[in-house]
Amino acid sequence: MIVSIVIPVHNGGKSFQKCLSSLKQFISPATEVIVVVDGGTDNSEQLARSFGAKVFTFPTAGGPARARNRGAKVATGDILLFLDADVTIHADTLPQVMKFFEDRSDIAALIGSYDDAPGALNFLSQYKNLFHHYTHQTGSTEAATFWGACGAIRRNVFLELGGFDENYRYPSVEDIDLGYRLKKAGYRIELCKTIWVKHLKCWQPLNLLRAEFFYRALPWTELIWRDRQFINDLNLKMSSRISIVLAYCLAIALGSRFWWSGAVAISAGLGGAFLWLNFPVYQFFYSKRGWWFACQTIFWHWLYFLYGGLAFAIGTIRYHSFSRHANIAPKLLEISES
C-alpha cells in the first residue's frame, strides 16, 4: 500500500516549515510528498524543494481545492493523504493510515483529528483547536464528511468522483462537499480517533469569526440543505441544535432585563440549562487546562452558537432564494466575501 502526501500551501510561513520538518522526522525518504504552491509571495516553493518534495506551482491563488486536485492527479500512490500546511504529524500518523487501508478494504476514506496540544499558546487558539479535538473524539466513527486537514482517500475513488469542487476559491467546505458526495455514491468514511495531527494556526478574534461565519457556516448551511444532511453528529448534534435555541433565548432574556425584572430569573434558568446541556464540553476543557480556562470558554462557546445560528438562518434564506443547482455554495461564499 503506497501513500502519497498532498499539501496545498499559500504563504505557509513558519508553520509550513514545521509541517515539513515533522514529515522529514517521521516518514521514510521514499514516501512521495507533493506540495502545490497556490500563489503567494513568500518562500514556500523554495522551502518545499529544499525538503525534497515534488513541487507544483500556480502563479495566482485559486484555493486549496484546485491545489489538492493538482497534487492528486500527479500522485503515484494508491492512497492520497491530504494535510494542511499548518499541521504537523506524529510518529504514528502515517503508519496508522497505511495499516487502516491495508486492513479495511470496505472503507474508501478516513479522517483523523487534531491532537490535544495545539501549537499556538494564546487562549483563543487553545480553545478552538481543543474544541475541534473534542468534537472529533466524541463523534461517530461512521463519518459523514471528509476533512482536508488530515484526510486520506483511495486515489481511484477520489478521481472517480472528480476530486474537490474547484468552485471553492477559498479554504471553505470543499472537504465537507467531497464527503457528502462520497456518501451519496455509497462509499464509507471512517473517523479514526487515534490518527492525530497538531494544528499550529494562531486564532485571533477577527480571523476566527470571519473564517467560522463566512467560510464555514454559511456555505455549510447550503450543503446541508442541498443534500439534506441533517445528521446527528459532530457539529450538527442534537445538543448543538438545542444549544442554539438556548443561546438566543438567553441573549433575548439578558437584553430584556433592563425593562422587565422577570427577565433576570429567566436568564438564570436559561443560563443554567445551557451550562447543564454543555457540561461534558466544559468538563473536557477543565480536564485539559483547568477550571479558569474552562470558565473562559463559556462565553466563546455561547458566541459560537450565536453566530452559528445566525449563519444558518442567513444561509437558509439565501439557499431558498436562489435556484437549487449544484454550485450555489461557492456563489454564496462569493457574495459573503464581497
The one-digit pLDDT tens for each residue of the chain (338 residues) are: 899 999 999 999 999 999 999 999 999 999 999 999 999 999 999 999 999 999 999 999 999 999 999 999 999 999 999 999 999 999 999 999 999 999 999 999 999 999 999 999 999 999 999 999 999 999 889 998 999 999 999 999 999 999 999 999 889 999 999 999 999 999 999 999 999 999 999 999 999 999 999 999 989 888 888 877 666 555 667 888 899 999 989 888 888 877 777 788 888 899 999 999 999 999 999 999 999 999 999 999 999 999 999 998 998 898 888 755 545 555 555 544 54
27 vs 71: CA distance, rounded Å: 18
| Domains, the chain, with CATH or none | 3-203 (3.90.550.10), 234-337 (no CATH)
- Which cell numbers in the block locate residue 17? 516549515
- Tell me which H or E stretch contains 77: none
89 vs 269: CA distance, rounded Å: 44
Cα separations (Å) of 252 from 229, 241, 245, 265, 270?
A: 29, 17, 11, 13, 11
173 vs 203: CA distance, rounded Å: 19
